Chain A
Amino acid sequence: MAKIQVQTTINGEQLDFLCDGQQSLLSALRDELGLTGTKEGCSTGDCGACSITLDGQLVPACLVLAAEAEGREIGTVEGVAQGSGLHPIQRKFLEHAALQCGVCTPGLIVATRALLLKNPNPTEAEARYYLAGNLCRCTGYDKIIKAVLDAAASMRGESA
């Protein structure tokens, strides 16, 4: 079977790539397109490290086939920063030291952005439940949740 040609939009930019039918979108992003911000953790949809948005919906890129991306809009961590300026979520993760090894961080940032688009003012419990599928094995979750809630406040214009 020949390779499949896919034309898609990633972080607002139209891109083409070739893939195998069984290849994941995660693999296509990293290995065909060089977009290595999206991390591979478990590859079975359990850890959240490869969180992206597909037509606005938060999904694990490991459980999406690359061929499915034809004509869709993909959002990855590379598209979160605004030009050379960090997004408030990224800034708050740094300020709160909400990361250590960093493998879970891109997924957490993409998932947090999806959460705050739906719910700009989440309670701590809502944030913890929404992000329950993003596993972190270094920092623990307290700093991450503090960063998320502070980023939410900042984006609502309630703090610096």
Chain B
Amino acid sequence: MESVRYEAPNDVEAAVRLLAADAGAKVLSGGTDLIVQMRIMNRVPTVFVDVKRIPRLSALALDAKGLRAGAAVPAARIYENEAIRQLWPGLAEATDLIGSSQIQGRATWAGNLCNASPAADSVPALIACGATAVVAGPKGERRVPVEQINTGPGKTSLAPGEFIVEFEIPAPAPHASDAYQRLIPRSEMDIAVVGVGVALTLDAGGVVTAARVVLGAVAPTAILVPEAAAALVGTKCEEAALERAGQAATAAAKPIDDRRGTVAYRKKISAVLTKRVAKQAYERAKAR
């Protein structure tokens, strides 16, 4: 095979030019999907555009407004950050579930999102936390809620030449927190049968004032379930409220049968995990 072109631009504009000039050019950050696809599916890019030399893509910045995380920051750098673990424990835990320690030294949120597997662990957690992706392209930059990036398995709403530069995650309110859990057949290193992310905001009396409930692995993309969120708002996450949220999750889940689980099983587990994760997010929010 001829040597494939490799470019490592130092700024966003140069990366956009490289990507826009060649439909076969691919963004390389962690490479944990791109290089595997090249090796086992023979999907070889015409140009590797390594974005890790762009300072914005490797930066982590935390202030009163929230977190700005470069798209090429690997999972390990995110979940090892104590401040991130405190502010978004569910998001940190979801990030810590992606692959092995070695993979976590490479894999990124942007890659997990743009590879567009319905079972990606960080995606429901990012959506629950209200994350926004900053997307750069030939027409400049735009800010896109994470739930609008995936359009189906392996598909994104990014236009040719566009790529994710960074994520913005708003700081949680005083009594707010999040949680993410997944069901897998083994105890480590597996793909979610169902994954659930929940973020809750409480008032001083412990009543839920805002909720986001997101299901992964039970539809072509991760899905927000506003009916489940509505079942929690105005409650203290008592058993009856959790039960209604779980029923809403089961109703919203549109899974497929595969060797990891059947439709009926995934719908049932959607409720079980929604209740469990909402309860965990509630306890965390109350403790803050």
Contact = CB atoms under 8 A, between A and B. Distances in A.
B43 to A, nearest CB: 11
Interface string B1-25: 1111110100000000000000000
Contact of A64 (B3, B40, B76, B106): B106
Interface residues of A, number: 36
B44 interface: yes
B102 A51 contact: yes
Contacts of A44: 36, 39-40
B200 to A, nearest CB: 28
Interface residues of B, number: 33
Contacts of A2: 3
Contacts of B30: 63
B184 interface: no
A82 interface: no
A3 B3 CA distance: 7
Interface in A1-55: 1-4, 20-24, 43-45, 48, 51, 54
A54 B77 CA distance: 13
A118 to B, nearest CB: 8
Interface string B61-96: 000000000000010110010000000000000000
A67 B3 CA distance: 11
A59 B36 contact: no
Most A CB atoms within 10 A — which of B6, B39, B48, B99? B6
B106 A131 contact: no
Given A20-B3, A21-B48, A65-B50, A130 B31 contact: no
A65 B35 contact: yes
Most A CB atoms within 10 A — which of B3, B39, B103? B3
B100 A133 contact: yes
Contact of A4 (B3, B36, B38): B3
A153 B163 CA distance: 46
Given A22-B1, A63-B106, A132-B101, 10 more contacts: A45-B35, A45-B36, A48-B100, A58-B101, A60-B103, A67-B48, A111-B102, A115-B101, A132-B100, A133-B103
Interface string A57-83: 111101111011010000000000000
Nearest to A130: B101
Interface of A: 1-4, 20-24, 43-45, 48, 51, 54, 57-60, 62-65, 67-68, 70, 111, 114-115, 118, 129-134
A63 B8 CA distance: 17
B238 interface: no
B4 to A, nearest CB: 4
Contact of B105 (A57, A68, A131, A134): A57
Contacts of B35: 24, 45, 62-63, 65
Contact of A68 (B5, B32, B40, B50): B50
Q: A-B pairs with the 5 shortest C-beta distances?
A: A133-B100, A21-B4, A20-B3, A21-B6, A1-B3
A68 B48 CA distance: 10
Contacts of B76: 57-58
Given A22-B44, A45-B32, A60-B106, A65 B99 contact: no
A66 B105 CA distance: 16
Nearest to B2: A1
Contacts of A20: 1, 3-4
A62 to B, nearest CB: 8
B28 interface: yes
A132 B4 contact: no
Nearest to B34: A63
Contacts of A131: 101
Contacts of B258: none
A58 B102 contact: yes
A48 B100 CA distance: 9
A65 B6 contact: yes
Contact of A133 (B1, B31, B50, B189): B189
